[in-house]
Amino acid sequence: MITRSISRNLQHFLASYDLSNLQWTLLCLCGVLIGMSKTGISGVGLMVVPILANAFGGRVSVGLLLPILIFADIIAVAWYNRHAEWKHVLRLIPWALAGIGIATLVGRSISDLTFNRILAILVLSGIAVLIWQDLRTQKDKIPKSKYFAAILGLMGGFATMMGNAAGPVMALYLLSMRLPKNKYIGTGAWFFFIVNVSKVPLHIWSWKTITLESFKLDLLMIPAIAAGAFLGIWLVRFFPERMYRLLVIVTTLLSAFLLF
């Protein structure tokens, strides 16, 4: 009887959102992809941005996605915490917060389409530079200019606030630092956890894209996020360092093209 009552209440709750079967399927798929991206299969997470935007609308999808990202960040931080390189996190955070502030102010006047295309061009240009750097004879040089961190930090903060699309920018920075895969994942996990949590008040009170109802919907995605996270942890073990670096570059390229 209790089980039957819970089942009826759950069905009533799900029906209250008036979502199609396709929308539920896409939402669960996005939860899995976000979980995978946060625990090692970097790049696939950005595929979620256009999927959710097409299914729910651009502005709504941004607020819907943020708590999902934070749930996945918590799993990634817990698993890869000891591998984080804090000097890189601390170098980027101030600039990223500045980028978030700028995006909050101008977000209402920039169309999602225009921003996504500009971001895609910047990311593709950055990946081209990264590949060129890999092909050079002297591969031991790492960008150390404070302007490098400042520019990518601002871009990442702006991109993450506007569309939760900072993955390629962060990938570009961390790949340029030539971090081993576990340090790459751990450093990125802490960076995104900090910036994503900092965005929550802005989405609630400034943009009003996170509501109690949208948060309840996000809570339903936790099993899909967890499944994706542990799938990512399992898959990343099979990639040697060089192959993992290539995987990140390829998936980031594909994700950047999706922004068009």
Q: Is residue 4 part of a domain?
A: no
- Domain hosting 80: range is 22-258
Q: Is 25 helix (H, G, I), strand (E, B) or coil?
A: helix
Count CA within 13 A, CB hemisphere, residue 38. 32
Q: How confident is the model at residue 136 (pLDDT cuts 50, 70, 90)?
A: low
CA distances from 108 to 98, 102, 163, 207 (A): 17, 11, 12, 9
Question: In 3-state terms, what secondary structure has residue 57?
Answer: coil
Residue 247 domain flag = yes
Number of domains in the chain: 1
Q: Is the pLDDT of residue 238 over 90?
A: no
On whether residue 153 sits in a domain, the answer given is: yes
Q: Tell me whether residue 9 is in a domain.
A: no
Q: What CA–CA distance (Å, rounded) separates 154 from 106?
A: 14
**Cβ–Cβ < 8 Å for 171, 42:** yes
Q: Is residue 71 part of a domain?
A: yes
**Is residue 12, in this structure, part of any structural domain at all?**
no
CA atoms within 13 A of residue 178's CA, in its CB half-sphere? 9
pLDDT of residue 6: 43
Judged against a pLDDT cut of 60, whether residue 32 lies above it is answered with yes
Distance between alpha carbon 147 and the CA centroid of its chain, in Å?
A: 23
Does residue 206 lie within any of the structural domains?
yes
The distance from CA 158 to its chain's CA centroid, rounded to whole angstroms, is: 13
- pLDDT (tens digit per residue) in 154-180: 988 998 898 787 887 888 888 888 888
- Arithmetic mean of pLDDT over the chain: 82
CA distance linking residue 117 with residue 89, whole number of Å: 27
Taking only the tens place, the pLDDT of each residue in 198-229 is: 999 999 998 888 999 999 999 999 999 999 99
In a domain, 13, yes or no: no
Instruction: Return the structure tokens found at 236.
Output: 């990343």
Share of the chain above pLDDT 90, in %: 36
